[in-house]
Amino acid sequence: MDCIFCKIANKEIPSDIVYENEKVIAFRDINPVAPVHILVIPKEHTESVQTLDDKHLSLLPDIFKAIKEIAEKENISESGYRVITNSGKHGGQEVFHLHFHILGGENIGKLRCK
């Protein structure tokens, strides 16, 4: 499958990885829109929230555990941050492998969606 995030998860293309375990990997966004901009993905491919089946849904606790740990490591757990997932064309999704943006390190404001 020609998926850039699968290639990142498989280390076929380089990225700045900040967290990894057997199910989840997180890396810095190539075009950051905030001082901290990290993408958290399941290693196993699924397109978006809209394609989550029962197996993928069971990964969500791992993803949110990763988000919490990353926020602590990046020193944004107290100042706060935003978690976003874009789904489909009208949701502004560009890479069709489920991912959660973590945005922080400054006041994100209300309207910035990634």
Residues in 41-80 at the binding interface with ligand DGP, rule: CB under 6 A: none
Q: Which of 9, 24, 29, 36 binds ligand DGP (CB under 6 A)?
A: 29
Report how far residue 83's alpha carbon sits from residue 60's, in angstroms, rounded to the nearest whole number. Answer: 13
94 touches ligand DGP by CB under 6 A: yes
Report how far residue 73's alpha carbon sits from residue 63's, in angstroms, rounded to the nearest whole number. Answer: 15
Does residue 99 carry a catalytic annotation? yes
Which of the ranges 18-26, 28-36, 75-83, 102-110 carries the binding residues for ligand DGP, by CB under 6 A? 28-36
Cβ atoms 42, 63 nearer than 8 A? yes
Cβ atoms 17, 62 nearer than 8 A? no
CA nearest neighbour of 26 among 15, 34, 35, 13:
15
User: CB of residue 2 vs ligand DGP: minimum separation in angstroms?
Assistant: 13
| Residues engaged in binding ligand DGP (CB under 6 A) | 4, 15, 27-31, 39, 86, 92-95, 114
